[in-house]
Structure 1
Amino acid sequence: MLRIEKLTKRFGENTAVDTATLHIDKPGMIGIIGRSGAGKSTLLRMINRLADASDGQILFEGRDVTKLTGKARRGWQSDCAMIFQQFNLVPRMDVVSNVLHGTLNRRSTLVTLFNLFPLEDIHRAIDILDRLGIAEHAPKRAEALSGGQQQRVAIARALMQDPKIILADEPIASLDPMNAQTVMEALHRIHKEDGRTVICNLHTLDTARRYCDRVVGMRDGRIVFDGLPEQLTTGVAREIYGADASFSEAATSTEIAALAAPARDVTRDAEAMI
């Protein structure tokens, strides 16, 4: 379905992604982990064609995505939706209009300028918001919503594109544990119910193990691990992150259970992370 062959991205003398090869033969929920600067975001941006590859290929159903230009490139970006850490919504615009912007690649300039969306699109947008549990917020400005709610609006906007692949670049990095769980459950449900491939950059190991059926580890631009969640042991994680024996997964945990810990334990854990 999606084949990434020796994909490389250079910025001057620096190599952000180094001959990455990844084959996805069936719909999956795939988590990509690695420390900051490992190349995770650059890899997703190349897949979506927000950034051009220096070398290598991205093949989807036999088509070379790296060679697409103009309308064909925009069409691919509709098929391959992107969700960002900072939501990328229009803050002063109402929620349903933000979701409807997911159709702009296939609508005219007039629709874009005056928000003249067909009634069927409006109904579909509200149905998607209802599916994500936030339909009651449809008339509100996006800036009035919490971070977790805004991220679900961003997911709804992606679903309006009816994509074959959803790319999520650290979608829970700025969220608290409760909202992080809600967002990850939404992405996992979309994968399971719709049969869509979701590729998600993550910064916590427990999240990758809990929601993903395949985990890819990146270090210094290279893919150094590709396996099942249960194969992601602490020892493997140390290799991915380039850490020594002092590496602790607890410092990256987003488990909701941590919220129920006694106050003294939460304080102790917070101090340990400093």
Structure 2
Amino acid sequence: MLHIDALTKRFGEKTAVDSANIEVDKPTMIGIIGRSGAGKSTLLRMVNRLSDPTEGSIVFEGENITDLKGAAKRNWQSRCAMIFQQFNLVPRMDVVSNVLHGTLNQRSTFATLFNLYPQSDIHHAIEILDRLGIAEQAPKRAEALSGGQQQRVAIARALMQDPKIILADEPIASLDPMNAQVVMQSLRTIHEEDGRMVIANLHTLDTARRYCDRVIGMRDGRIVFDGTPAQLTTGVARDIYGAGADFSEAATSTEIETLDRSAKQAAEAVA
């Protein structure tokens, strides 16, 4: 389905992504991990064509995505939805209208200007919100919702595009552990029930292991690991993060049980 070949992005003398190669032959949930600045976000932005590669190619179902321009490029961005860490919602707009923004690439300039939506789209938006457990929030302003609820609204907006691929750039980085699990389970359910490819940049190893079928590790712009969650050992993680023997997975955990255990151990050490 997706073939990424020698994909490279340079900003002046800095190489953000260095000759990345990824093959995905079926809808899969993939987690990309690595330190800040490893090139994870730049990689996703190139796949979505928010950023142009310096070298290399992206081919999806036989179509060279790196060659697309104008309307063809916008059509690709409809089929390849992007979810961001900061949600990118319109704060003072109601939730259902934010979800309907997922159809903007499919609507006329007139309809967009006057905020006109078919009843079928409105009903579909509410159905998606219901699927994500937040239909009762539909009439509220987005700014009135919690962070976890806002991220689920962002997921609903992505689903309105009916995409083949969902790219999630640190979707749980600003969320508490409980909301992080709700959001990741939502993405996992969408992958399993809809058969959509999901690629998520993640900052926690336990999240990658729990929700993803495949994990890719990046360091200094290069892919240094590509394997199953079971193969993501602590030793491999040290190599990905460039950490020493004192590396602790608990420091990156979103699992409530792990956090509680770490807090207890810290308290016992002080005592």
TM-score, scaled relative to structure 1 = 0.96
| TM-fit CA distance, 1:109 | 1.1
Alignment of 1:181-260 (within 5 A): 181-258=181-258
Sort the Cα spacing of 1:146 and 1:215 in 2 relative to 1 into closer, same or farther, 3 A.
same
Contact conserved, 1:258 with 1:266, CA < 8 A, in 2?
no
Match of 2:33 in 1: 33
The one-letter amino acid of 2:161's match is Q
Match of 1:11 in 2: 11
Give me the whole-angstrom Cα distance separating, in 1, the residues matched to 2:267 and 2:168: 32
The one-letter amino acid of 2:23's match is H
Give me the whole-angstrom Cα distance separating, in 2, the residues matched to 1:153 and 1:201: 19
Alignment of 1:155-194 (within 5 A): 155-194=155-194
| TM-fit CA distance, 1:40 | 0.1
Match of 2:66 in 1: 66
Match of 2:264 in 1: 265
After TM superposition, the runs of 4+ consecutive aligned structure 1 residues lying more than 3 A away are 258-262, 266-269
Give me the whole-angstrom Cα distance separating, in 1, the residues matched to 2:159 and 2:55: 30
Give me the whole-angstrom Cα distance separating, in 2, the residues matched to 1:14 and 1:31: 24
Give me the whole-angstrom Cα distance separating, in 2, the residues matched to 1:73 and 1:261: 48
Give me the whole-angstrom Cα distance separating, in 1, the residues matched to 2:189 and 2:6: 31
Give me the whole-angstrom Cα distance separating, in 2, the residues matched to 1:266 and 1:156: 39
What's the secondary structure of 2:88's corresponding residue?
coil
What's the secondary structure of 1:198's corresponding residue?
strand
RMSD: 1.4
What's the secondary structure of 2:56's corresponding residue?
strand
**Cα deviation digits, residues 190-227 of structure 1 (max 9, x gap):** 00000000000000000000000000000000000000
Sort the Cα spacing of 1:65 and 1:88 in 2 relative to 1 into closer, same or farther, 3 A.
same
Give me the whole-angstrom Cα distance separating, in 1, the residues matched to 2:108 and 2:265: 52
Contact conserved, 2:94 with 2:139, CA < 8 A, in 1?
yes
What's the secondary structure of 2:3's corresponding residue?
strand
Match of 2:47 in 1: 47
**How many residues in Structure 1 have an aligned counterpart in Structure 2?**
269
| TM-fit CA distance, 1:258 | 4.2
What's the secondary structure of 1:6's corresponding residue?
strand
| TM-fit CA distance, 1:113 | 1.5
**Cα deviation digits, residues 53-73 of structure 1 (max 9, x gap):** 000000001111001000000
Alignment of 1:31-180 (within 5 A): 31-180=31-180
Sort the Cα spacing of 1:266 and 1:154 in 2 relative to 1 into closer, same or farther, 3 A.
farther
Sort the Cα spacing of 1:207 and 1:20 in 2 relative to 1 into closer, same or farther, 3 A.
same
**Cα deviation digits, residues 101-122 of structure 1 (max 9, x gap):** 0000010112212210000000
Give me the whole-angstrom Cα distance separating, in 1, the residues matched to 2:261 and 2:196: 36
Q: Which segments of 5 or more consecutive residues in structure 1 lack a partner in the other structure?
A: none
The one-letter amino acid of 1:171's match is P
Sort the Cα spacing of 1:156 and 1:255 in 2 relative to 1 into closer, same or farther, 3 A.
same
TM-score, scaled relative to structure 2 = 0.97
Contact conserved, 2:250 with 2:258, CA < 8 A, in 1?
no
Give me the whole-angstrom Cα distance separating, in 1, the residues matched to 2:180 and 2:120: 31
Give me the whole-angstrom Cα distance separating, in 2, the residues matched to 1:82 and 1:181: 19
Give me the whole-angstrom Cα distance separating, in 2, the residues matched to 1:260 and 1:44: 33
